[in-house]
Chains A and B, each alone.
Chain A
Amino acid sequence: MKVALAQISPHLGDVKKNLALHLEYIEKAKKKRTDLLIFPELSLTGYTLQDLVPDVAITPGDSKELAFLLKAAGKTAVVLGFIEERAEEKGIFYNSVAYLFDGKILHIHRKVFLPTFGMFDETRFFAQGKNFFTFPTPNGRTGMMICRDFLSYGAGYLLFAGGAEIIIAISAAPGRGLSGEEGFGSSRMWELMGEMLSRFSNVFCIYCNRVGFEDGKPFAGGSFIFNPFGKLLCLASYTESQMLIQDIDMEESREARKLWPYKRDDKPEIILESLKRIVGKYEY
């Protein structure tokens, strides 16, 4: 199957412009006969929204933007990031990712790990998601994460335990840390997790980050795909907008599991019981 990573620079706070940008990339991807097109975190809104959050939120099922995108995407699976205000939870806002296919939203993941330290301030503006589910797609069983979620190996484990064959992480990760090397020090952190997760979960690990600046913060691109053996298949620029296209062979997931039975030998029930005992000792 053909995967396209839209490493874009969204317009901050302008959903209309971003919708046009998405439609442009969907057209491009369709021309290349792409099966799965992935946009970065908050691709429909930009990242540093602060008090703009309520103004740019959309409600799945009642959003003309999503209706446009569902129609344009058709049989190309499209993954994108947006601010979600659920119909049954008005006034509560999530940093969400949706998987669109064939006119339907197959799954929505709400960001669980909301970074709030240093330059990040997400719990001030977002409600916390509560789940890591996998779901079936025509392109294999899939699990999704958003940015900081991906840096939690617990979260990665849950998608592995849930039977994921593809793990998709969308991101708006600023680059930071200089050295004599090309690129930001922080880029290596994402690549390391991608390599680890793909290698030890025997999954395709697909990371789509954004580029561009917001209030001086440089988003560090470097989108990538690792195959289920932990091999880097492609790596995007750390600075430039681009659409990265990669053919992947889903058969490799089976091949990797045959050689390395991590999934067969997993012990979720022991992990669950052990976690219960650890959490049970918390002092409240």
Chain B
Amino acid sequence: MNINGPFVEKILKLFIREEMKKSHFSRGIIGLSGGLDSSVCTALAAGALGPKNLTALILPYGKVSQKDVEDAELLVRALGIKSKTIDISPMINIYYERYPFKNNVAIGNKMARERMSILYDFSVREQALVLGTSNKSELLIGYGTIHGDMACAINPLGDLYKTQVRMLARHIGIPKQILNKKPSAGLWKGQTDEGEIGLTYKELDEILFLRVDNKKSREEILAKGYSEKSVDHILKLIKKSSFKRNLPPIPKISTRTVGHDFLYPRDWE
């Protein structure tokens, strides 16, 4: 689980620079919440592309996460990048006034997709590629909104567990107030990731690391002393969220089919 901060920083910056170049973009755009993942990704992208070539969009819902907005603005100033703050509450409110629905998860997803929609609109306005900020822990258990915060052109942090993102954040000097706050998707007031997932990131990442990186079976993980409740919960989440990690299935009825046996690399030059 340990990482070498300078090496990972170097590799991820090279990745950002090279994937941008292959997509024929020189500028990037990123949704910055003021949380750990988007802050780390913003700092890496600013370093990789140069501060002038990165725009951060800060997209709060009204005043719900005022502290996060302040932290995001602090990071923007420290990195010397361009930013724009857009309150998404008018768009969200007008929709739910017309089609009321009292469901926190659905509303949270709607907000994530509103942010995605703005990011992709600005992607065209600014001729900038959208950088994603999903980490490996989230991707594996499906803790993200499909076509929402999971939507992006490249995803630099996708192979780092939350624990490792935190290690990297410490190495690259992310401000303390961002580093030390409780991880939250900011979906509603007082929401925390750990509260919603029902596990601490420490336990989650340790179990995921054993299962995914070391290919340990359920029984082998249990033998290491992890509770049956936690392990089974995580295994269930991995399985349940498989659809978020795959393209929608296409019925294969011809000899050559997109998603089955029409196989071309994305980085095709």
The chain A residues found within 8 Å of chain B, CB to CB, are 9, 11-14, 17, 46, 48-52, 175, 178-183, 212-216, 218, 239
Contact = CB atoms under 8 A, between A and B. Distances in A.
B173 interface: no
B266 A215 contact: yes
A52 B264 contact: yes
A212 B18 contact: yes
B265 A12 contact: yes
B7 interface: yes
B249 interface: no
Interface stretch (B9-17, B43-51, B237-245): B9-17
25 contacts: A11-B269, A12-B267, A12-B268, A13-B268, A14-B269, A46-B269, A48-B267, A50-B263, A51-B262, A52-B264, A52-B265, A175-B11, A179-B2, A179-B4, A180-B3, A181-B4, A182-B4, A182-B7, A183-B4, A183-B7, A215-B267, A216-B19, A218-B11, A218-B15, A239-B14
B225 interface: no
Nearest to A48: B265
Contacts of A14: 269
Given A178-B3, A178-B4, A216-B15, A12 B10 contact: no
Given A178-B4, A182-B6, A183-B7, A52 B19 contact: no
Given A178-B8, A179-B4, A218-B11, A213 B264 contact: no
Nearest to B265: A48
B157 to A, nearest CB: 12
A17 B265 contact: no
Contact of B264 (A50, A180, A183): A50
A12 B269 CA distance: 5
Nearest to A17: B269
A13 B269 contact: yes
Contacts of B18: 9, 212-213
A218 to B, nearest CB: 6
A32 to B, nearest CB: 27
Given A11-B269, A51-B263, A180 B4 contact: yes
B155 to A, nearest CB: 9
A214 B267 contact: yes
A215 B265 contact: yes
Contacts of A50: 263-265
B224 to A, nearest CB: 20
Nearest to A218: B11
Contact of B15 (A12, A48, A213): A213
Contact of A49 (B3, B262, B265): B265
B262 A178 contact: no
Contacts of B7: 178, 181-183
Given A180-B3, A215-B265, 7 more contacts: A13-B269, A178-B164, A180-B4, A183-B7, A214-B265, A216-B19, A239-B11
B111 to A, nearest CB: 28
A52 B268 contact: yes
Contacts of B268: 12-13, 52
A51 B258 CA distance: 12
Q: Which among B15, B18, B19, B267 has the greatest number of chain A C-beta atoms within 10 A?
A: B267
